[in-house]
Structure 1
Amino acid sequence: MRKLIYGINISLDGCCDHTKFGGEKDVHDYFRELLENADLVIYGRKTYELMVPFWPQVAEAQSMDKTSNAFAKVFAGLKRIVVSKTIDLVDDQHTTIIHDNLKEEILKLKQQPGKAISTGGVELPAKLIELGLIDEFHLVVHPVIVGQGRRLFTEMNLPENLGLKLMASDTLSSGCIVLRYERIT
């Protein structure tokens, strides 16, 4: 079965608003490498609209620095799913829409052959965690306290603690710490 992997940037105080801290090149490299091991990304509407068409356009124009362009190229080559009750049509040949039956649809995707499935953002991953569908968690902790902004997992409602096992940790040259956890089954 394919793994569903959740990746997110956070500050030391749990802020997950990407506009509150920098876009270090080694972080882009980390997420590029993570996406190289996936062939599908799943986002909620908000995250999808942040990522598409921005990154596919960067991939086509190669309009940013080398690290960002490399990330964009990998991202542009992935199949994409947007989970939304409000979007009926997307202008992107690589994207399909899931409107309802989230758990069933994700379970079907996990059963299909292929590489890992990646997700990001806040609201959709929280729902996927509640449904027991996330297999790995990749948290990139930035060495900054922002004191404001959206906090990770504040909307999530779990009936009991979710056990995780630390599988790896790494310190990037920027000082960010990558923590990779697997769900204990």
Structure 2
Amino acid sequence: MRKLIYGINISLDGCCDHTKFSGGDDIHDYFLALMKNTDTVIYGRKTYELMVPFWPEVARTQSMDSATNAFATVFASLKRVVVSRTLTDTDDPQETIIRDNLKEGILRLKQQPGKDISTGGVELPAELIKLGLVDEFHIVVHPVIVGEGRRLFTEMFLPENVGLKLTSSETLSSGCIALRYSSGNMNDDI
């Protein structure tokens, strides 16, 4: 079974609003390495509309620095799944929409052959965590306190704690700390 991996950038005080802090080449390199091991991304409508068409356009034009262009190229090659009740059908053969039965739809994706699956954002991942579907968490903590902005999972309610196991940590050249946790949902030998 494929792993569902959640990746996000946050500030030291838990802000996940990407406009409140900046990333560098090391951040793009970190997420590029993660994306190279995936072949599908899953987003809610809001995150989807932030990521697409931005990254496919950067991939097409190669208009940014080399690290960002490399990330964009890999991102543009991925299959994209959008969880939304409001989006109309897509004409892009790389994209599909899940409108209902979220748990069943994600379990079907996880059972298909292929590489890992990635997700990002806040609302959809919170729902996926509540459903017990996220297998790994990749959280990059930026060395900045922003004092304001959207915080990670402030609206999420869980009936019980979700225990995680730290599987690796890395200090990036920018001073960011990349933390990798396993949820214990999957047997690593599968």
Aligned counterpart, 2:138: 138
1:88-99 equivalence runs, <5 A: 88-99=88-99
Aligned counterpart, 1:73: 73
Using the alignment, how far apart are the partners of 1:111 and 1:90 within structure 2? 23
Deviates more, 1:125-134 or 1:84-93: 84-93
Q: 5+ unaligned residues in a row in structure 2: which ranges?
A: 186-190
CA RMSD after TM alignment: 0.8
Using the alignment, how far apart are the partners of 1:127 and 1:120 within structure 2? 12
Aligned counterpart, 1:165: 165
Aligned counterpart, 2:31: 31
Residue 118 in 1 paired to residue 118 in 2? yes
Aligned counterpart, 1:49: 49
Amino acid at match of 1:147: G
Using the alignment, how far apart are the partners of 2:126 and 2:105 within structure 1? 16
Question: Between the two proteins, what is the percent identity of the paired residues?
Answer: 75
Residue 100 in 1 paired to residue 100 in 2? yes
CA displacement, residues 38-66 of structure 1 (integer Å, 9 cap, x when unaligned): 00000000000001011001101101110
Amino acid at match of 1:3: K
How many matched pairs? 185
Using the alignment, how far apart are the partners of 1:95 and 1:19 within structure 2? 26
Using the alignment, how far apart are the partners of 1:92 and 1:76 within structure 2? 12
Using the alignment, how far apart are the partners of 2:86 and 2:155 within structure 1? 20
CA displacement, residues 51-107 of structure 1 (integer Å, 9 cap, x when unaligned): 101100110110111011000000000000010010012353311100000000000
Using the alignment, how far apart are the partners of 1:67 and 1:169 within structure 2? 21
Residue 83 in 1 paired to residue 96 in 2? no
Using the alignment, how far apart are the partners of 1:120 and 1:164 within structure 2? 18
Using the alignment, how far apart are the partners of 1:184 and 1:111 within structure 2? 17
Using the alignment, how far apart are the partners of 2:145 and 2:30 within structure 1? 21
Runs of 4+ in 1 over 3 A off after TM superposition: none
Q: 5+ unaligned residues in a row in structure 1: which ranges?
A: none
Residue 154 in 1 paired to residue 154 in 2? yes
The Cα shift of 1:156 comes to: 1.1
SS in 1 for 2:138: strand
CA displacement, residues 85-138 of structure 1 (integer Å, 9 cap, x when unaligned): 100123533111000000000001001111000000000000000000000000
SS in 1 for 2:175: coil
Using the alignment, how far apart are the partners of 2:50 and 2:181 within structure 1? 26
Aligned counterpart, 1:18: 18
